[in-house]
Amino acid sequence: MARYKLILAYDGTHFQGFQRQGKGRTVQQELEKVLKQLGWEGSSILSAGRTDTGVHASGQVVAFDFDWGHSSAELASALNAGLPPDLAVKEAVEAGEHFHPRYDAVERSYRYHIYTANQRDPLRERFAWRVAPALSLERLQAAAGLLPGRHDFAAFGNPPRPGGSTTRYIYSAGWRAEGDDLYFEVHGNAFLYHMVRRLVFTMVQVGQERLRLEDFASAINETRPLPPGLAPAQGLVLVGVRYAANRQEAVRIMKTLL
C-alpha cells in the first residue's frame, strides 16, 4: 500500500465544485469513480482545498492510499483513460505515508482573468470575466499592493469552519495587462471561502472609480464592510500548491506567518 499524490487540471464549467455532494457532478466524484474501477477500496480522497462551482484548476492536488502494484506513470495513464474530457491527471507520484495535501501546504496560488470589451466574446467568456467600462491598471495595482502581509480578511470571505480564523498571509499579489486582457495573480498561505473572487470584485470597483482606494484599504486594515459582490467563478483558476518538506516544517512556517 502506498500513498499517491496527483496534480489535477480541470475545466470547472460543468462541475458543481470539487467536493463530493449528494447531488450534482463534482471533481471528487468523477475521480473516485475511476479509482474504484481500478480497484481502489478507499472511502474518500484527500485534497488541498475545495474549489467552487465553475472554478477551474491547473494545479489541484489530491492524495490517497492505494495498493496499485504498477508505476506512478501507469497510474496516471490508467486514470486519464477513464476520466471525462474536462478532468485530467497531470502528474502522479508516490508521496510519504503521512503526506496530506491540505495540512502540508504552505502556499496556494490563484489567477483571475478579466478582459475589457464592450461586446461579448464567447470564446473567452468560458474562462474570463468581461468587464466594461475599462479599468485603470494603475488603480488595480495600487489596490493589490495593499494585500501582501498578514491581515484579517473578514471583509472578503468566510473561514472553512464556523468560528475559524479569518487571518491569512499573502506573499504577493499583482495585476498584469496583455492587450485588453488583465490577470490578477495572488499567492498566500491559505484563502477564505470566496476570498479571491471577492477581492477581484472589489478591486474592479476601485479600478472603475466606483470605490475609493481608502475604503478598500480600510476593509483590509480595519475589516470595515464593503458593498456586496463576487467576481464570476469562470475567471478563477487554482494554479498550484507548494509544500513543505514535511508536516513539522509546514507547521513551523505557518506559525511564523500567523
User: Hey, which residues are catalytic here?
Assistant: 52
DSSP letter (8 states) at residue 53: T
What is the spatial distance between Cα 113 and Cα 121, in angstroms, rounded to a whole number? 14
Bridge partners (DSSP) listed for residue 19: none
Longest Cα–Cα distance of the chain, Å, equals 59
Helix (H, G, I), strand (E, B) or coil at 112: strand
What is the spatial distance between Cα 231 and Cα 128, in angstroms, rounded to a whole number? 10
Report which of 96, 43, 38 is spatially closest to residue 69, judged by C-alpha positions. Answer: 38
Q: C-alpha cell of 119?
A: 461586446
With beta carbons less than 8 A apart as the criterion, state whether 211 and 226 touch: yes
What is the spatial distance between Cα 5 and Cα 26, in angstroms, rounded to a whole number? 19
96 contacts: CB under 8 Å, gap ≥ 6? 3, 246
